[in-house]
Chain A
Amino acid sequence: MDTDNSTAVAETSEDSTPTTAKSSDSVVIETRNLSKIYRDFWGRKKVHALKSLDIEVRPGEIFGLLGPNGSGKSTTIKLILGLLFPTSGRVLVFDQDASETRKNERIGYLPEESYLYKFLTAEETLDFYGRLFDLSAAERRDRVKQLIELVGLQGAKHRQLKEYSKGMTRRVGLAQALINDPDLILLDEPTTGLDPIGTREMKDLVLGLRDRGKTVLLCSHQLADVQDVCDRVAILHQGELKELGRVSDLLKVQDVTEVHATGLDDAAKAEIAEVIARHGGKLESIDNPTATMEDLFLNIVRESEARPGARRVSQSAEANDAASGSSSDGDQA
């Protein structure tokens, strides 16, 4: 894809913050020349996981970290959380060093896989994490109830997590990340293991968090998800920052024009092609757009929920045909 390369590593434009920043927190996360080298027991260098990373995450934005496996996304998140110590450079979170425990008061973290205690129920889990924030019993009760509703686990809140499906565990994981109503939420691969509905809900939830003024940092290789929700992304490869900028800028193809219209017949389409040719443009394709598999799937499920028992064989078969060409759910880039 042809991207605008003007937004390079050292992007400094100030206009990109979607909401006005609080004066004290003009930057939520700042990494300065952050490097991490993994060493073995004898101190010999094993992997140079992160090389001189400089990023700033601003209040109220959704920041995406992208990259293939092993590109340093998780390392970055762990450095931000203080789970790892930088080999050189610094991480500041809310202007405090990442190794400070107190910063965690304002942070919510959803790990790559939900590392939760399998012998606790959802309710116990959330109550436990609530206690870790020193919340009072009444506060905990309210938050737990609220969050269980938010992630839709009312029916399963008394079951032990070991009986949960992956998606359900993921939801509990998300709920525990939100137990303290954090200002900064770090999501490590938030949509893995979720079904399309869960993915959609997760994305809506992330957008909802931003609307409430929260800052979100997520890392993912589900490109479609990143495209849908992120304001800015950083693309990492082999520990190096390759690209950083606003999603809309990065994805805008400068010399391609897109026209959406309905009710045109073939004659009208031919006419449009003519017009394009007259202006010296080159028509690349004129076609019926295909819906994404995600849209199709969500439509079917919503329909089925609205009218249980009914079947839309013909329509769905048709839609399947249309969608089969381009699976935009984009599991892998």
Chain B
Amino acid sequence: MNLQLDDFWSFYEWFFRPGAFLESAALKGIVLGVLGIVLGLVVGYVISSSRYGSGEGFFAVARAVRDLFRFDLPGTRIRRIVALARLAFKEAIRRKVLYVVGLFVVLLLLAGWYLNPQSDDPARLYISFVLTATNYLVLALALFISAFSLPEDIKNKTLYTIVTKPVRATEIVLGRMLGFVAMGTVILVPMGLLSYLFVTRGLDHTHAEVADVRELASGGFEGETDYTRFHSHHFELNEDGEGVTDMVRGHRHVVTKNADGSFRVGRPQGALRARVPSYGSLVFRDRSGNLQEEGIDVGNERLAGGYGSAGIARLIGVAHGTRKIEHGYVEGGGLGTAEYTFSGVTKDRYGSSIPVDLSLRAYRSYKGNIEKGIRGSITMKHPSKPIESNPIGFTVNEYEVDQKFLPIEVEGTNGNKTEMLNVFEDLVDEKGRMTIVVRCLDDSQYLGMTPASVYLRPTDHSFAWNLAKAYMSIWLQMTMVTAFGVMFSTFLTGPVAMVATAVCVLLGFSAEQVYDTRHYIDAGIERGGGPIESMVRLLKQDAMTTQLDVDTVAAKVIKTADAGIVYTLDAIATALPNLPKMVNTAEFAASGFDIFGALLARHAVATLGYVLFAFLISYFTLKAREIAA
């Protein structure tokens, strides 16, 4: 899993972006709020002045705003909200939404048909399957129940008997939202439990037989397990008859030798986990040993993207260029290194060894020894003093997380002396920091890494809790979609409200593509252009990197119109919630990484902001509309 720039931000950094306030979520929230208020007032004024005339219209708008703060918010009662929420809940139940859980069960039962049993990483497959299925089912459901309910109530006139009671518009909106969110929760909880069972039971297996057991000269044993579920393990036991197998397909088993000479293979371990990484800061050194911000670019085309993290700054054209973190490469043979400096390296956190995970890329500039992987080394080093351990070699395992344990007592050099070093005493500075230096050992081959490629792993969280957090993220998305659905349904008919919400969701999902297109237009890069230009290219069957092959005036017109469309789309997409980021928490769970609390907190705050926004819009439209019209 390749983390992006904003994934590393703490909640505070995300919210305020110290030093770059234009990129901050706080600013985006403020701008959205102000925009919402201004637009609301203008639209409200236009509507009421067409209804009452221009002077009276002004008072009508002023009255609506005054009513909100003077009567409707203070007059809002929990009991009424709960009553309306319960009604919405019952109504949703009556619409048989619980069938969705049934559909989910069917999906799980038939999962064997389309989940590849020979996958290299079955845990990822299973987890991302259940999370994706849940996510889309629940979002679709939220879309349906939220968009249709209010228009239905207006059509059936059941709303007449409600609004003629002392029910505030605030309560109608909140009641709906809460009712549907409660409904979604009731659906999500069993889906979550089923998912947990499906994943844990689905991955559970053991190997009944062992084969080729040989006694080792040192007194232990080694052997192979049988071939079950398309894989087998190699294991080594010590002289007491205890040991573990190697990692295959993301898991290993404990193997013990019984008293009667038979071997017992335990349950799989390590497949379902939630690593809690401690990331460090990364600098590179080139082949002459000079410090560099970035590693060597081995010619992978720089991908566009990551613009979303630039917030408002990008929209107003202050932030340029890609913000996607790419792998930087370290050359073997010279003085090139990648240096990660980690903080908080203390005895309390790590104890008897320091777990470090590597997920590196290898780039071969020549074929080399194709039988072997590219070799690298890890050196533990004091951040400022010339004290370092002897290098610990490894062979790169591409596309896998390579788990290593660094010893606490290690031989190394202190200045010119060679001696035994203690990591906590000799290699960690007074602030608890330690540097890990990664080198490539093969001449003219390259190792690629990002700040997320090497991390210390002080602890693991439980997988169940991580899955629960992934479900919370889905819950937040559902809440957001529900709020939007209710908002649109206050002034649109059911199907139209649903389409409008769906458009918002889809535009939210494709925001990065819109940002890309905007970037290409701004930078004058030929990448197919906007929608009209793309259409022309499609019809003419032109490649997207060529010049647009029409006459100058036509090209000008097309490009200008396209720019207008793309800029508008860009503004809308920027205003919408960043759903792909929220869906991405599933990737964390599937890759076996703990979903950072900060990430969830950010999503929660963003959700709250958008719900508040939708709530205000809904309130005013509901106030302004004639229920009986």
A: which residues have CB within 8 A of B?
38, 43, 78, 81-85, 87, 100-102, 104-105, 107, 109, 111, 113-117, 119-120, 128-129, 131-134, 173, 176, 180
Contact = CB atoms under 8 A, between A and B. Distances in A.
Contact of A101 (B83, B168, B628): B168
Contacts, number: 85
B71 A132 contact: no
A113 B156 CA distance: 10
B91 A117 contact: yes
Interface stretch (B115-123, B158-166, B468-476, B506-514): B158-166
A56 B551 CA distance: 74
Nearest to A75: B628
B594 to A, nearest CB: 43
Given A117-B91, A131-B80, A85 B166 contact: no
B contact face: mostly helix, strand, loop, or mixed:
helix
Contacts of B629: 38, 84
Contacts of A173: 161
Contact of B156 (A43, A105, A115, A132): A115
A128 B160 contact: no
B82 A131 contact: yes
Interface string B285-315: 0000000000000000000000000000000
Given A83-B626, A117-B87, A134 B164 contact: no
Contact of A176 (B84, B161, B163): B161
Interface in B604-629: 626-629
B157 interface: yes
A115 B160 contact: yes
B169 to A, nearest CB: 8
B163 A83 contact: yes
Interface of B: 50-51, 71-72, 75, 77, 79-80, 82-84, 86-87, 90-91, 94, 156-169, 626-629
Nearest to A128: B83
Given A83-B163, A115-B156, A133-B165, 16 more contacts: A81-B160, A83-B626, A83-B627, A84-B626, A85-B626, A104-B165, A111-B157, A111-B160, A113-B157, A115-B160, A116-B161, A119-B91, A119-B94, A129-B165, A134-B77, A173-B161
Contact of A134 (B80, B84, B157, B628): B80
Given A83-B628, A101-B71, A119-B91, A132 B162 contact: yes
Task: Report which residue of B82, B162, B626 has the largest number of chain A beta carbons within 10 angstroms of its beta carbon.
Answer: B626
Contacts of A114: 161
Contacts of A43: 50
Given A78-B628, A85-B626, A117-B87, A105 B164 contact: no
A111 B82 contact: no
Given A83-B626, A84-B628, A119-B94, A129 B71 contact: no
A132 B90 contact: no
Contacts of B156: 115
B510 to A, nearest CB: 32
A114 B158 CA distance: 8
A105 B158 contact: no
A101 B75 contact: yes
Nearest to A111: B160
Contacts of B164: 81-83, 104, 107, 109
Nearest to B86: A128
A117 B91 CA distance: 9
Given A78-B628, A85-B626, A101-B167, A117 B80 contact: no
Contacts of B162: 132
A115 B51 contact: no
A132 B80 contact: yes
A115 B161 CA distance: 7
Contact of A119 (B77, B90, B163): B90
A129 B161 contact: yes
A132 B79 CA distance: 7
A100 B623 CA distance: 10
6 contacts: A81-B164, A83-B626, A101-B71, A115-B156, A115-B160, A117-B87
A83 B161 contact: no
A114 B210 CA distance: 75
Contacts of A38: 629
Contact of B72 (A78, A101, A132, A133): A101
A204 B267 CA distance: 79
B158 A117 contact: yes
Given A43-B50, A85-B626, A131-B82, A109 B166 contact: no
Nearest to B72: A101
A263 B626 CA distance: 62
